Amino acid sequence: MRDRLGRGGMGTVWRADDELLGRQVAVKELHPEGGAPATAALREARAVAQIKHPHVIVVHDVVEEAPDGAARGGRSYIVMELVDGGSLADRLGSAGPVGVREAARIGIALLGALATAHARGVLHRDLKPANVLIEEGTGRVVLTDFGIAQVPGASTISEEGAFVGSPEYTAPERMQGAGAGPESDLWSLGALLCAALSGESPFHRDSLGGVLHAVVLDEIRPPRAAGPLLPVVQGLLERDPAHRLGAVEAESLLRTFAATGSTPIPRYVPTERVAHRPPPVEVPATPVASAAPAGRAWQARSVLVGAALVIVLAGAGAAVALFALGDVETAGGSVSPAAPSANAAPPYASWRPPPPPPPPPRRPPPPVPDGYRFVRDPDGFALALPDGYVRTTDTQRVFYTSADGAQRIGIRTQNAVSGGPLGVMRDSAANGPASNPGYRDGKVTATTHRGRDAALWEFTWNGFTKAEGARHTYDVCWDEFGRMYDVWVSAPLARLDEAKRNFDTALDSFVPAP
């Protein structure tokens, strides 16, 4: 191992040489004091191994040293791809906040990574700027550090009675001991976007107790710089996970901003939510005895997150803090909480969470252009289509055809196959003359769709009958959630502008089958 690239609560990352394959890699050395190293290494490796996405770090191997081996015997290491470039936290520290368009680009990439992870049942649980890498030269965004991820079928630290994560980026339902789902990662993304735009999380406070109070109760005030992305940030930072903005909707809004410079207010997000106001705090009828120990103020507040709450603060030089019913213990010793001042807010011992709201109504479809309607197909996917198009099928595909039969929109879904989208499209192009009479000007281009690897096949052909005349086809194929999706539009040459508009609208609005 060569240079040290970074250090967190569970391990140290080094630059190293893979002598067998002649390449540089990143090696994460697990800290023994962070728990059973082999168990942690395998949990992280298994989490990442289930996720194949261009914006998720690639794990090559897990290496364990025998206890009677080298001087550092018993250590475990995760061998990963080397991403040349610092973290988003490094970038914010050295260059300050990023612009709105760059924040949107980062958000789109991370939403794609999270959607793929969540489809595999993997929750990251520690999304923050320090765990997002920005590749130098290409600007590629890479989500890393799945050390505390929740993986299907595996026990986690939190399931053993403790809490792990970074408080400033942790969802309130996790702070309150409730079960966490994909919505918790989306809250963290909302806090991360605020940090990217302003330099710090909106929940940053001078004390850990202040952070917990800010997450659970305080008004949420997005930074002024978030203005153009306010519908996204506010939707992600909705305290009730049942009403939180979903990944598909958030990605659609960010892509709309990236394309147009403005973000529409979704119909399912309140339009007047400048700040989230906390529920009222009940003041006890009898005053708190003045002789109570100083630690009692912290004990009362600990009701919000449960007794014996353990928070592992990841990041360079971070301490491990233990919150119990009394003092706060840090790596440097024990520190007693300061006694509350005369002007302090009332204790929260009598506060109880409000009853859960009734289940929200089904969210309406995303906004679509005039002349289009949002269609939920019986095969499970959904997309925006021009008014009046009629559905037909064959053994493998779904078609939507205009009333005059001139324009056709096709959709095919299947399991992901070897060779990926680019290989499939190249094979189709090679068979183009056999499947499309008068096939010409065919071209296959590697591209991306919502941050995922994709391929575009474009060609001209004669149509199936003379009445049809020469036609042009746009066809995009991509992998998502372990499925391969293929969407195309075919139209007469004289109506290419209309065809391209239909094609772009179908792709932008497409929602894959769950």
DSSP conformation letters of 493-514: GGGHHHHHHHHHHHHHH-B---
Both structure tokens of 274: 């400048």
Q: Where are the beta strands (DSSP E) in 362-439?
A: 372-376, 382-386, 390-393, 398-401, 408-415
What pLDDT, on the 0 to 100 scale, is given for residue 265? 64
Answer whether residue 201 is part of any domain: yes
According to DSSP, the residues that pair with 384 across neighbouring strands are 374
| 25 within some domain | yes
The more confident residue out of 327 and 224 is 224
pTM for this prediction: 0.50
372 pLDDT band, cuts 50/70/90, is very high
Confidence of residue 27 (pLDDT cuts 50, 70, 90): confident
**Domain containing residue 73:** 4-81
In 3D space, the residue among 184, 164, 183, 114 whose CA is nearest the CA of residue 143 turns out to be 114
Q: Is the pLDDT confidence value at 314 over 80? A: no
> 3-state DSSP call for residue 448?
strand
Looking at the structure, tell me whether residues 59 and 128 fall in a common domain. Answer: no
- Looking up residue 479, the CATH number of its domain turns out to be 3.40.1000.10
- Do 149 and 261 lie in one domain? The reply is yes
Number of H helices, E strands in the chain: 12, 20
Q: At what angle do helices 182-198 and 247-260 cross, to 10 degrees?
A: 30
Is the same domain home to 60 and 109? no
Q: Assess whether 195 and 255 both reside in one domain.
A: yes
Task: Single out the residue in 50, 81, 112 at which a domain terminates.
Answer: 81
Catalytic residue among 3, 18, 61, 126: 126
Question: What's the token pair of residue 437?
Answer: 């009479």
Q: Write the secondary structure of 251-284 as one string of H (helix), E (strand) and C (coil).
A: HHHHHHHHHHCCCCCCCCCCCCCCCCCCCCCCCC
Give the whole-angstrom CA distance, residue 130 versus residue 199.
12
Q: Which amino acid is at 427?
A: D
> Which residues are within 8 A (CB) of 480 and not within 5 positions of it... i.e. 6 or more apart?
115, 116, 450, 452, 512
pLDDT band at 178 (very low <50, low <70, confident <90, very high): confident
Residues 198 and 322 in one domain: yes
**Residue 205: CATH number of its domain:** 1.10.510.10
Picking from 107-116, 268-277, 447-456, 477-486, which range would have the lowest pLDDT averaged per residue? 268-277
Q: Which string of DSSP letters, residue by residue, matches 270-337?
A: -S--SS-PPPPPPPPSSPPPTTS-THHHHHHHGGGT-SSEEEE--STTPPEEEE-SSPEEETTEEEPP
**Per the domain annotation, does 391 fall within a domain?**
yes
Residues 385 and 419 in one domain: yes
Q: Is residue 361 part of a domain?
A: no
Residue 10, domain CATH: 3.30.200.20
Domains of the chain: total = 3
Told to judge if 126 belongs to the known catalytic residues of this protein, a careful annotator would answer yes
Q: Would you give the DSSP letter of residue 388?
A: T
Whether residue 134 lies inside any domain: the answer is: yes
- Please give the structure tokens belonging to residue 417: 């196959």
The pLDDT of residue 247 is above 70: yes
Identify which of 488, 416, 379, 417 has the alpha carbon closest to the alpha carbon of residue 119: 416
If you average pLDDT over residues 495-508, what whole number do you get?
92
Residue 329 has pLDDT above 60, yes or no: no
Question: Looking at the domain assignment, is residue 344 inside a domain?
Answer: no
Question: What span, in angstroms and rounded, lies between the C-alpha atoms of 168 and 509?
Answer: 33
Residues 466 and 497 in one domain: yes
Identify whether residues 483 and 388 lie together within a single domain.
Answer: yes
The domain boundary, picked from 81, 115, 136, lies at 81
Q: What is the dihedral of CA 100, 119, 191, 130, to 10 degrees?
A: -90
Rounded-to-integer distance, Cα 319 and Cα 331, Å: 6
Please say which residue of 81, 103, 134 terminates a domain: 81
Query: Quick check: is 366 in a domain?
Result: no
Cα-trace Rg, the chain:
26
Pick the residue with more confidence: 291 or 367? Answer: 367
Average pLDDT, the chain: 74
Q: Are residues 232 and 379 in the same domain?
A: no
3-class DSSP assignment, residue 210: helix
130 is a domain residue? yes
What DSSP assignment string belongs to 88-99?
A: HHHHHHHH-PPP
Residue 173 has pLDDT above 70, yes or no: yes
Q: Which residues neighbour 418 within 8 Å (Cβ) at sequence distance 6 or greater?
A: none
Query: Is residue 30 located within the same domain as residue 53?
Result: yes
Cross-strand bridge partners of residue 479: 484
Q: For 269-310, what is each residue's pLDDT tens digit? A: 443 333 333 333 333 333 333 333 333 333 333 333 443 333
**Is there a single domain that holds both residue 320 and residue 384?**
no
Are 135 and 214 part of one and the same domain? yes
